[in-house]
Structure 1
Amino acid sequence: MKQVSLVYWIGMAIATVFVIWGVIAPNNLIGVMESAQNVLLRVFGWFYQFSATFFMLLALFLVFSKYGRIKLGDDEDRPEYSRPTWIAMLFSAGMGIGLLFYGVSEPVSHFVNPPYGPGGTPEAAKLALRYTHLNWGLHAWAIYAIIGLSLAYYKFRKKVPGLISATLYPLLGKKTQGPIGIAVDLVAVFATVFGVAASLGLGAAQINSGLSYLTGIPTAFWIQLIIIAVTTVLFILSAATGLKRGIKYLSNANMMLAVILFCLFFVLGPVGFILDLFTTAVGEYIQYLPSMSLRMAPFNAENAEWLRNWTIFFMAWWIAWSPFVGTFIARVSKGRTVREFMVAVLLVPTTVCVIWFSVFGGTGIYFDLYQGTEIAAQSLETALFYTFQQLPLSGTMSVISLFLITTFFITSADSATFVLGMQTTNGSLNPPNFVKISWGLFLAATAIILMGTGGLSGLQTAIIVSAFPLTIVLLFMSYAVLKAFRQEVRKERN
């Protein structure tokens, strides 16, 4: 009990109030959150976009700066994992429910409803992939890289607890151990909860859609409730009993199945079209990256609405997820240099995402553009399975996808309970089971409340609201780590 921090007890109290509020007055809860979201998007939408772009520029600066040689650990430390194993871990961090949920649905949605200009045209197809790459590419991984770098630097080189508040020590000093530090850690905890709960909600909706395709069961909230309940039992059992070997084997099987699904989709799809579109979209993504990064459409309300629903939402989601993913990549990166860390975290997962969306999204666009299918008319959660119907081995790929979504669900939630446990037990690498179980139950309850009150819109609302204060924390964190690097280089010179 001694290792359980005040952050846990305050967090649990707030969590209990949130759950009770969602059960007793769900409409009031979603109404308050939507009001907050509307204000944030209307007044501060630019802030999410600008901040994400700042993190990307900072990450690129660190690659080429004099700080690149600083080691994440003691000078004599060597990496715990070989470079191929480490790269594979970064690759696995880039895979998840989101790639399956949005792999087809986002590009085809942009194809018929682009950020600007007419939809359903070849130009709209290129625009669709370009903006999908923006939403899932360098910006996302720069956010993860900055927070992961800060956590790894302070944990392994400065020997402080792996807490978000600890990374602000150069700015706040011992105040990080008082009320300000508690507030910072609470912000990180609840951003993580809402970010992960969104993924769980998306996963439950897509599992329901896949089962409906394969078995004909209805697509309904009560089915999704059962799915969340069953998977919650599984990931809590894993978290509580320490079945790390089973999760390890499950994760390895997951990666192999993801590669098999990708190869099947690529080989059975319009290969020539995909390769041409991939090459074109990557070139345009690089060419237009500066203008897309800061585009806000102040003179066109419809285009501005598109940006809020897609790009700004995704930037907020990556920020909300950053304590979770950042903690993971920090833990496996001891002994790496700043330069090596930033290059790998930026390029490896970004490359995976760009290739994935080019293949899955490109296939969906091809069928709608040249064969008159209506993949874009499907819901976000059913677009993938509808695309399978246009290809051979559709049943096999649907089964593989369902297994992948389920195991991504379980392993992500299992990891999230550990991260939340660590954040609320002073950075302990072995949080008590009751801490992990309680956060696991709250994750499931949050996903159910948000799905039941607002569906996908409710998930988006929670992410945007929770990410705002965390964005401010990350900006201060960026300044703090630069200040620490500058002090370290100055000491070396003296």
Structure 2
Amino acid sequence: MSTASPKTTTHGKVRLNPVVFFGSTALILTLTLALILLPEEAGLWLGAAQNWLSRSFGWYYMLAIGTYLFFVLYMAFSRYGNLRLGADHERPDFSYSAWAGMLFSSGIGISLLYFAASEPIDHLYNPPEGEAGSLFAARQALQLTFLHWGVHGWAIYALVGLAVGYFAYRHHQPLALRSALYPLFGERLMRGSVGNAVDCFGIFVTLLGLVTNLGIGALQVASGLEYLFGMPHSDSALLVVILVMSAVATLAAVSGVEKGIRRLSNLNILLFSSLLIFVLFAGQTLHLLNGFVQNLGDYLNGLILKTFDLYVYTGQSGKSESWMGLWTLFYWAWWISWAPFVGMFIARISRGRTVRELITGVLLIPLGFTLAWLSVFGNSALDLVMNQGAVELSKAALEQPAMSIYRLLEHYPGAKIVIGLSICVGFVLFLTPADSGSVMLANLSRRDGELDEDAPHWLRIFWSVLVTLVTIGLLFAGNFTAMQTVVVLAGLPFSVVLLLYIVALLKAMRQDMAVLDERQAGRSVPGIGMVEPR
């Protein structure tokens, strides 16, 4: 099937939503100024808030994450999986290969390059339980890394993408976060204060995620240039990297889903796969293949246990609790905070897909590659550290994680060329979430227009510029870590919104299935806004 082109934006139809636009802008600027002007006080307060959240809501996060995963699996394997995001006769806008490529790139960012070697090594030396540096700790390190990057996070993306896309394309609601709540709050509230509050907070959380993405991306690329060319580790050098990355991301966002994001997705897959294949075959291939199979088995075997594991019986409650806050709970909140814009982007490209197609595509297409990547790079890093005395690698993983991937690759033939390729991979990995995020921010802050119509160019440019300015301010104020803490805190209230999405979807889908059953029986019963065949 040929890929359909999105509609051209018509400025006469698309209007700014002033409440959402100015409210979210004021919120993010107020937070940024507080972190810049009062770095020490804000850092202390946010650190205390994160510790409180970890102690008080660890159990809630575990139950919520388990609920999201169970729900999307139930949707995929139940009769609701046959429902379509659109009219019953409608077919997908994008071909399967184009859709799969954009799914792959939408949720895989530069953080995967950042943590590929550093996270397993960190778990090796700072395990939640067991002896540090032991073989047990090494095996556990990959199991925990798989947990943090595994099916739970992709289930969150699938939930948001399903909820937004289902109500937009099947129930004629705007392509916005608020739309998935209209069965619970009604049309009037969704177009008023409640809907504005949901979209405003969604923009706030999304912008926080994009700021951290740009910060991590700039540090990753700058570290690579420092290693490869001896570029000085200075604020001015980092500023140049940020500006160049932001400019390219803005151009891609302006070009839209069809031209910019789709082409970047294809380039992303090519570069990413090339680097993975090189490390696999240039290293101890048999050991890495064996390791991947065992890592996958450990992950699947402990999936239910680790979903609810709060390390209550380790005998080291303080140490385990601190580790949970720094890693597992951080990751759950991180996935939730990225869910608004990744989920909306998934919805944007999934019109015409069935519920089952969307869920299985989101859960399986990016997941398989992610786990293979983590296993190959993680096992390679652990082998170098434990068996070959790679001191510089272990030091970088613990002290300068952005440098760890380059310290790993220096042990391979053609290291300079491969490290240059990895810098390019990092750059492209940053671009795809950055440009798709800017498009979704712009779409959330406007109203009216067609469902397949993206916001005007000036609005996308505004959000790209704002993300850049906030990132520069926080990095140079030395308070970028505080922004990452805010992301974790912001994930808590949005996790409640996701639970409401579940209730709303169940309510709407039950009524839609009743309508279909009545039609099949030869009778006609009105639905709740379900699209009629055209």
Partner of 1:270: 284
What's the CA shift for 1:101?
A: 0.8
| Secondary structure at 2:129 match in 1 | coil
With over 3 angstroms needed to count, the CA separation of the structure-2 counterparts of 1:291 and 1:450, relative to structure 1, is: farther
Judging by fraction of residues, say which structure has more helix: 1
CA deviation map 1:251-283 (0-9, x unaligned): 422321111111111111111111111111101
With over 3 angstroms needed to count, the CA separation of the structure-2 counterparts of 1:246 and 1:12, relative to structure 1, is: closer
Q: Which of 337, 342, 345 pairs up with 2:359?
A: 342
Partner of 1:90: 103
Between stretches 423-432 and 350-359, larger displacement belongs to: 423-432
Q: Which of 132, 136, 151 pairs up with 2:149?
A: 136
Q: Which of 397, 401, 413 pairs up with 1:380?
A: 401
User: Aligned letter for 2:482?
Assistant: G
Partner of 2:428: 407
Q: How many angstroms apart in 2 are the aligned matches of 1:64 and 1:238?
A: 37
Between stretches 196-205 and 437-446, larger displacement belongs to: 437-446
Q: Which of 69, 72, 75 pairs up with 1:59?
A: 72
Q: Which of 331, 337, 353 pairs up with 1:314?
A: 331
Q: How many angstroms apart in 2 are the aligned matches of 1:235 and 1:206?
A: 16
Q: How many angstroms apart in 1 are the aligned matches of 2:471 and 2:54?
A: 22
**C-alpha contact (below 8 Å) 2:105/2:268 kept by paired residues:** no
Confirm whether residue 397 of structure 1 aligns to residue 418 of structure 2.
Answer: yes
Partner of 1:154: 167
Q: Which of 503, 506, 529 pairs up with 1:482?
A: 506
Partner of 1:304: 321
Counterparts in 2 of 1:243-254, with a 5 A limit? Answer: 245=259, 248-254=262-268
Q: How many angstroms apart in 2 are the aligned matches of 1:85 and 1:242?
A: 14
Counterparts in 2 of 1:181-200, with a 5 A limit? Answer: 181-200=195-214
**C-alpha contact (below 8 Å) 1:270/1:366 kept by paired residues:** no
Q: Which of 197, 203, 210 pairs up with 2:224?
A: 210
What's the CA shift for 1:57?
A: 1.0
Partner of 1:176: 190
Q: How many residue pairs were aligned?
A: 494
**C-alpha contact (below 8 Å) 1:126/1:277 kept by paired residues:** no
What's the CA shift for 1:355?
A: 0.5
Between stretches 73-82 and 42-51, larger displacement belongs to: 42-51
User: Aligned letter for 2:445?
Assistant: T
With over 3 angstroms needed to count, the CA separation of the structure-2 counterparts of 1:176 and 1:243, relative to structure 1, is: closer
Q: How many angstroms apart in 2 are the aligned matches of 1:83 and 1:244?
A: 14
User: Aligned letter for 2:246?
Assistant: T
Q: How many angstroms apart in 2 are the aligned matches of 1:252 and 1:219?
A: 32
User: Aligned letter for 1:313?
Assistant: F
What's the CA shift for 1:188?
A: 0.9
CA RMSD in angstroms, aligned pairs only: 2.0
User: Aligned letter for 2:403?
Assistant: T
What's the CA shift for 1:243?
A: 9.8
Between stretches 63-72 and 24-33, larger displacement belongs to: 24-33
Q: Which of 252, 255, 269 pairs up with 1:255?
A: 269
Between stretches 248-257 and 2-11, larger displacement belongs to: 248-257
Q: How many angstroms apart in 2 are the aligned matches of 1:250 and 1:294?
A: 37
Q: How many angstroms apart in 2 are the aligned matches of 1:270 and 1:426?
A: 54
Partner of 2:295: 281
Q: Which of 114, 119, 132 pairs up with 1:106?
A: 119
| Secondary structure at 1:224 match in 2 | helix
| Secondary structure at 1:327 match in 2 | helix
With over 3 angstroms needed to count, the CA separation of the structure-2 counterparts of 1:426 and 1:354, relative to structure 1, is: same
Partner of 1:472: 496
What's the CA shift for 1:248?
A: 4.3
Partner of 1:431: 455
| Secondary structure at 2:70 match in 1 | helix
Q: How many angstroms apart in 1 are the aligned matches of 2:427 and 2:366?
A: 21
Partner of 1:457: 481
| Secondary structure at 1:116 match in 2 | coil
Q: How many angstroms apart in 2 are the aligned matches of 1:242 and 1:350?
A: 25
Confirm whether residue 27 of structure 1 aligns to residue 40 of structure 2.
Answer: yes
Q: How many angstroms apart in 2 are the aligned matches of 1:234 and 1:242?
A: 13
Percent identity of equivalent pairs = 34
Partner of 1:4: 16
What's the CA shift for 1:170?
A: 0.7
User: Aligned letter for 1:261?
Assistant: L
Q: Which of 229, 236, 248 pairs up with 1:234?
A: 248
> Runs of 4+ in structure 1 displaced over 6 angstroms?
none
What's the CA shift for 1:144?
A: 0.3
User: Aligned letter for 1:203?
Assistant: G
CA deviation map 1:66-96 (0-9, x unaligned): 2111111101001223333332332223432
| Secondary structure at 1:381 match in 2 | helix
Between stretches 316-325 and 227-236, larger displacement belongs to: 227-236
Q: How many angstroms apart in 1 are the aligned matches of 2:441 and 2:127?
A: 37
Confirm whether residue 125 of structure 1 aligns to residue 138 of structure 2.
Answer: yes
Between stretches 219-228 and 241-250, larger displacement belongs to: 241-250
Q: Which of 432, 440, 459 pairs up with 2:464?
A: 440
CA deviation map 1:289-317 (0-9, x unaligned): 11101111245110111111111111111
Between stretches 118-127 and 133-142, larger displacement belongs to: 118-127
With over 3 angstroms needed to count, the CA separation of the structure-2 counterparts of 1:114 and 1:453, relative to structure 1, is: farther
With over 3 angstroms needed to count, the CA separation of the structure-2 counterparts of 1:456 and 1:376, relative to structure 1, is: farther
**C-alpha contact (below 8 Å) 2:215/2:475 kept by paired residues:** yes
User: Aligned letter for 1:360?
Assistant: F
